[in-house]
Structures are given as structure tokens and as C-alpha cells.
Amino acid sequence: MTTAPFVQVIERNVPAVSTAGNDDDTVLGQAPFACTVTSVQYVPEAAITGAATNNRTVSLVNKGQAGSGSTSVASLAFDNGINATANDEKTITLSGTAANLVLAAGDTLQWRSIHVGTGITDPGGVVRVTISRT
């Protein structure tokens, strides 16, 4: 039995949230094997300028095999001074809890784009999740 590849990238397009007060959840896929998330990047189609009060948080959530989980794997708030350049990858901060980075084969990964306050828009783009077989 082979265990290759050791490292794999799950890459998916995510839709724009063009109304500041709206949210979006997008299923990215399922873990093909038991693994650990080692990095998450977001490549927005347009620039995102963070704001102090009304902003947006993007996150990767492990929904588990039943689809009802809520474990935050990685998250980034586009707060004041936290910006993203169009078509350039922005690293999303991994959870500081090591157990949150561990996925079982078949766990569903969801990308969340949630407004804070009245929010800011999200241009959509590409999400890249790098996983390493455990």
C-alpha cells in the first residue's frame, strides 16, 4: 500500500460577497486521508482594505465527517491595518491549538467569510489549503 503523496494542496475558487453585511460558507472539499493542515492562503481577486470596526473575518472550518463540526483551523480578521493585495496570496493564521489542525480522512473543510459590524465586501478568489499526511 502506498501513502504517496505526503503533501497535497486542496485549491478551490470561492465566491465574492459583494454586499458588506452578507456572509458566505463554501465547501472546499474533504480530507483525502488523515492529515495535518500546514498552511492556508487566500488569493483575493481584488484588494481588501481592513477596517477598525466594520470588517470581515475569513476562516477555514473543519465540519467533520458528519458536516456539523465547528473547529476553526485558520482565521484572519481584516481589521484596521490588515489588508490583502489583489491576486497575491495572503497567509491565513493557523489555529494555535495543534489539535485543531488535525483532520481525519473524510473531514469536510468549509471556507467562511463573515461580516463584523456592518462589514466590508469580500472579492472572492482562490483558497489554498496545504495538508501533510499523518
DSSP per-residue codes, 36-81: EEEEEEEEESS-B---SSSEEEEEEEEEETTT---EEEEEEE--TT
User: What's the pLDDT band for 24 if we cut at 50, 70, 90?
Assistant: very high
Task: Go through the domains of the chain in sequence order and give each one's CATH number.
Answer: 6-133 (2.60.120)
The pLDDT score that the predictor gives to residue 2 is: 62
The answer, yes or no, to whether residue 1 has pLDDT greater than 90, is: no
The pLDDT score that the predictor gives to residue 100 is: 99
Checking DSSP bridges between strand 24-30 and strand 108-116, what pairing results, if any? antiparallel
Helix (H, G, I), strand (E, B) or coil at 123: coil
Tell whether pTM > 0.75. yes
The pLDDT score that the predictor gives to residue 4 is: 66
The answer, yes or no, to whether residue 26 has pLDDT greater than 90, is: yes
Percent of the chain with pLDDT over 70: 97
The pLDDT score that the predictor gives to residue 35 is: 98
Mean of pLDDT over the chain: 97
Mean pLDDT in residue range 89-104: 99
Rounded Cα gap, residues 46 and 40, in angstroms: 18
